């Protein structure tokens, strides 16, 4: 049984600046939820943390997060699977 899985993360716009890369592969525990994955990424830097999580440590609902090209909002229950791609996009500002 495989205890870890590999995910691809694509960072767009401000997330790319915060992460310092356009994309990367990340190894995480099998069965991790999207919310736990975002917390895992947020632990890497304060800038990523402030963009991904609110003051209570919950994922910011204003971010656009896609899992395999599907916009996802169910952070707590959405379980990720090996070789999925997660795209992180900051909300668009109008004006």
Top pLDDT among 90 and 49 is at 49
Can you give the pLDDT at residue 76?
A: 85
Q: Is residue 57 part of a domain?
A: yes
Supply the pTM of this predicted model: 0.90
Q: Is residue 95 part of a domain?
A: no
With contact defined as beta carbons under 8 Å apart, do 8 and 24 qualify?
yes
SS3 of residue 26 by DSSP: strand
CATH number at residue 33: 3.10.20.30
Reference 60, options 8, 14, 21; nearest CA is: 14
Give the chain's domain count. Answer: 1
Q: Is residue 94 part of a domain?
A: no
The mean-pLDDT minimum among 6-15, 22-31, 68-77 falls in 68-77
pLDDT in tens, 26-47: 999 999 999 999 999 999 999 9
Where in the sequence is the domain holding 17, given as residue range(s)? 4-89
Can you give the pLDDT at residue 93?
A: 53
């Amino acid at each position: 049984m495989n205890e870890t899985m590999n995910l691809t993360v694509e960072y767009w716009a401000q997330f790319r600046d915060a992460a310092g890369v356009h994309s990367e592969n990340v190894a995480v525990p099998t069965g991790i939820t999207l919310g736990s994955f975002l917390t895992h990424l947020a632990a890497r830097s304060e800038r990523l943390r402030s963009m991904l999580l609110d003051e209570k440590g919950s994922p910011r609902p204003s971010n656009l997060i896609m899992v395999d090209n599907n916009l996802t909002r169910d952070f707590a229950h959405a379980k990720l699977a090996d070789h999925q791609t997660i795209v992180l996009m900051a909300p668009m500002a109008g004006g």
